[in-house]
Every structure is written in structure tokens, then in C-alpha cells.
Amino acid sequence: MELARQLAGELFELSMALDRVGNAAAARLGINQTDLICLTLLDRRGPMSPGDVAAELGLTNAAISAMAARLEKHQYVTRETDPGDRRRVLLRVQPEGVRQAFALFDGMYQSMVELFAEYAEADLARVAEILPRYRALLAEWS
């Protein structure tokens, strides 16, 4: 149980460190951290309606509208008519804008890959099994 407490503390500190990285990166991009989270969400999941983004991030429709305007201004996303429902709008990432934005993380990402390469596949598989559960737990508390 003591190791579990130590790990919980480490993950809590990891969450705070990732928050600081996100804030610093967003500031360099001229957006805020929630905008960066939205950009990451759209990049990973593909086009989404503003309402779906609002529900996923726990924000109001008004907040998403302002966020979409900021991301569009910086050419990170476009607003497009949903081809399946012409009344609906979708937010879609601009590949070049996202590539430039996420380039800030290239060095950190490579360092993480190199760190993980030091461990056995079985150990990495266990961590890969735990992290989504940890992320789900965090979502319950946000």
C-alpha cells in the first residue's frame, strides 16, 4: 500500500507538471491552455461540432464559440458545414497550423520515447494499461 501511495503522489505531481508544460506551450502559441486542449482533442478525434467539444471539455457553448474564434484567428482550426447535416458546423484542425503548434513538443516527445525505450516491453505494456484508467479517474474529478 505504501508504494501505491507513493505512486499516487508521483502521478499527482506529474499532472501538475503537465499542466505547467501546457500553460507554457499555449502562451508561446498565443492561446490559452484550454484552447490547446481543444486543439489536441480535435487533432486526435477528428472534426467535432462545437456542442460536442463543449460537452467533452465541460464548457459552455459561448466559451466554445470564443475559443473557436481564437483558434481560427491563429489558423489552427476552420469552421466548416457538416456534410451530413448542413445546419451543423464542425471544427476541423488545419494540418499546417497543428503541425507548427505541436512542433513545440517534438523535443519533449522524443525525450519521452527515449526514456520509455529503456524499459522492457512488459513494463511498458503495464504502464500503458494503467494510464487510460488514471486518465478516466481524473476525468471523474474534473
Is pTM beyond 0.75? Reply is yes
Query: Tens digit of pLDDT for each residue in 50-107?
Result: 999 999 999 999 999 999 999 999 999 999 999 999 999 999 999 999 998 999 899 9
| CATH number for 85 | 1.10.10.10
Q: Does residue 116 belong to any structural domain of this protein?
A: no
Which 3 state secondary structure label does DSSP give 60? Answer: coil
As for how many domains the chain has, the answer is 1
DSSP conformational letter for 118: T
Q: Does residue 53 belong to any structural domain of this protein?
A: yes
Query: Tens digit of pLDDT for each residue in 97-134?
Result: 999 899 989 999 999 999 999 999 999 999 999 999 99
